[in-house]
Amino acid sequence: MVIQRPKGTQDIIPGTIKRWHFLETQIRKICSEFGYQEIRTPIFEATELFQRGVGETTDIVNKEMYTFLDKGQRSITLRPEGTASVCRAYVENKFYAQPQPVKLYYLGPMFRYENTQAGRYRQFHQFGAEVLGAQDPLVDAEVIHLIWEFYRRIGLKGLEVHLNSVGCPVCRTEQRSQLQYYLQERKSDLCLDCQDRFEKNPMRILDCKNKGCQALTVDVPTTLDTLCEECKEHFAKVQQALRDCGIEYRINPKMVRGLDYYQRTAFEVMAEGIGAQSAICGGGRYDGLVEEIGGPSTPGIGFAMGIERILAVLDKQKVAIDNDQENKVLIAALGAQARQEGFKILSELRQDGVSALMDLMGRGLKSQMKYADREGVRYVLILGDEELAKDAIIVRDMRLGDQSEISRGAIKKYLLKNMKNSKYLL
Ligand code: AMP
């Protein structure tokens, strides 16, 4: 029997990898421009990190973690998200002793044992960024601006930023009692999980995927109804700063996010047309998290976005991705001597940084042209016995469909003149 990949995982194959590279390049570029540095944390961590960091009453910790005992009987978990690990690294590497804030980003696979469906996988990839050590509402706006600008640059349209404030521990006490008061009489109609949440963490009921629970919470008091004065002021400043950088947002007072660590600002970005799993990004402020996992009291804010879902929106919106085909050259050499000379030209072009290929299967000209088409080549350099004798080469422009003969020594100059971004050749 053929062995198949595990449910909820995907092979990212050469046909699609260009789109990943495109996103990865854009991610690194924008993060560097906004002053974020990359961090790479382990893919597995002590289970306790997520129990404490993500929260015992969340679906992620309760139902979705890939947890196992290693051979030393330690409980290990494949990371279901990136924030807890970044905060652990911040503490463990004593980043709190450096000038603040510390601005970090990450990119890599996450693992959740979820019910798989379109847009919901068991291994998926997130790009996330975190700012640690700064409480200013401008930081919240900067983080949302990074997301907004990133989507603008990659060409996504029709997105909606949902914004909320879930308050601080002071507001939570009030929130908790108002929620419990409201739901008291309907408690027995809640799902079993929510009946449990009712005592432990009633705010999580707002996040329940069960339709019955959702119906029961249509008119519940929202987190915005119970904000303390400081949280209200913070929220107002975040909104002002978002307006100042031209970001459109919608207040969604029911959005509480599925992780326990959020305080104050919480946000999600939704995209149309990719089905039920329309959230392409989520994040918020988590001022208590670093302390929760054993570090000094440190404010923090961040987000994570799912790469697979961004790719789905790019596909849906038919966004063209510039993958530099303008700069590809194929050398079509015919005959043993031409192949030898062709290989020399190939290596010269490569030394000049030109993306160049040569047929290695000894195919005829027609098949080589097909190969060039398949590879998205812009220029084919044709070299046969006749051209060899004249010390010349035929250059065929695949996009314009015309060709001309130039001397062997003029190849570099020709490409330099005609190629897009010909600085690569200098
Ligand atoms: P979260 O860490 O749950 O806030 O998720 C942040 C983002 O990661 C979401 O908005 C999605 O774009 C993406 N995401 C979360 N879970 C999955 C999953 N199981 N499969 C694919 N993408 C996911």
Domain boundaries, the chain: 17-168+228-316, 328-418
Band (274; pLDDT cuts 50, 70, 90): confident
Longest dimension (CA), the chain: 94
Q: How far is the CA of 108 from the centre of ligand 1 (A)?
A: 12
Report the predicted TM-score, pTM, of the whole model to 2 decimal places.
0.86
Band (339; pLDDT cuts 50, 70, 90): very high
Q: Quick one: which atom of ligand 1 is closest to the CA of 121? A: 20
**pLDDT over 50 at 423, yes or no:** no
Q: How far is the CA of 41 from the centre of ligand 1 (A)?
A: 18
- 328-418: CATH topology is Rossmann fold (3.40.50)
Residue whose C-alpha is closest to residue 257's, from 277, 285, 283: 283
Q: How far is the CA of 124 from the centre of ligand 1 (A)?
A: 8
Band (425; pLDDT cuts 50, 70, 90): very low
Alpha helices in 245-295 (DSSP H): 289-292
- Is any atom of ligand 1 closer than 6 Å to the C-beta of 377? no
Cα pseudo-dihedral 315, 324, 106, 156, rounded to 10: -30
- Is any atom of ligand 1 closer than 6 Å to the C-beta of 284? no
C-alpha–C-alpha distance, residues 155 and 401, integer Å: 30
pLDDT tens column, 161-218: 999 999 998 898 888 899 899 999 989 999 998 998 898 888 888 888 889 998 988 8
Instruction: Measure the CA angle with vertex 40, ends 164 and 268; round to 5°.
Output: 15
Q: Token pair 């309760």 is at which residue?
A: 62
423, with CB counted inside 10 A (0-12, 13-18, 19+), is exposed
- 17-168+228-316: CATH topology is BirA Bifunctional Protein; domain 2 (3.30.930)
**pLDDT over 70 at 424, yes or no:** no
- Is any atom of ligand 1 closer than 6 Å to the C-beta of 84? no
C-alpha–C-alpha distance, residues 335 and 340, integer Å: 9
Q: Quick one: which atom of ligand 1 is closest to the CA of 122? A: 19
Residue whose C-alpha is closest to residue 319's, from 159, 160, 161, 162: 159
Band (426; pLDDT cuts 50, 70, 90): very low
40, with CB counted inside 10 A (0-12, 13-18, 19+), is exposed
Q: How far is the CA of 305 from the centre of ligand 1 (A)?
A: 6
Identical fold for domains 17-168+228-316 and 328-418, yes or no, is: no
- Is any atom of ligand 1 closer than 6 Å to the C-beta of 144? no
DSSP-derived secondary structure letter, 37: E
Alpha helices in 45-134 (DSSP H): 47-53, 59-63, 83-92
Q: Whose CA is nearest to atom 16 of ligand 1?
A: 120
- Is any atom of ligand 1 closer than 6 Å to the C-beta of 124? yes
- Is any atom of ligand 1 closer than 6 Å to the C-beta of 109? no
- Is any atom of ligand 1 closer than 6 Å to the C-beta of 112? yes
Q: How far is the CA of 239 from the centre of ligand 1 (A)?
A: 25
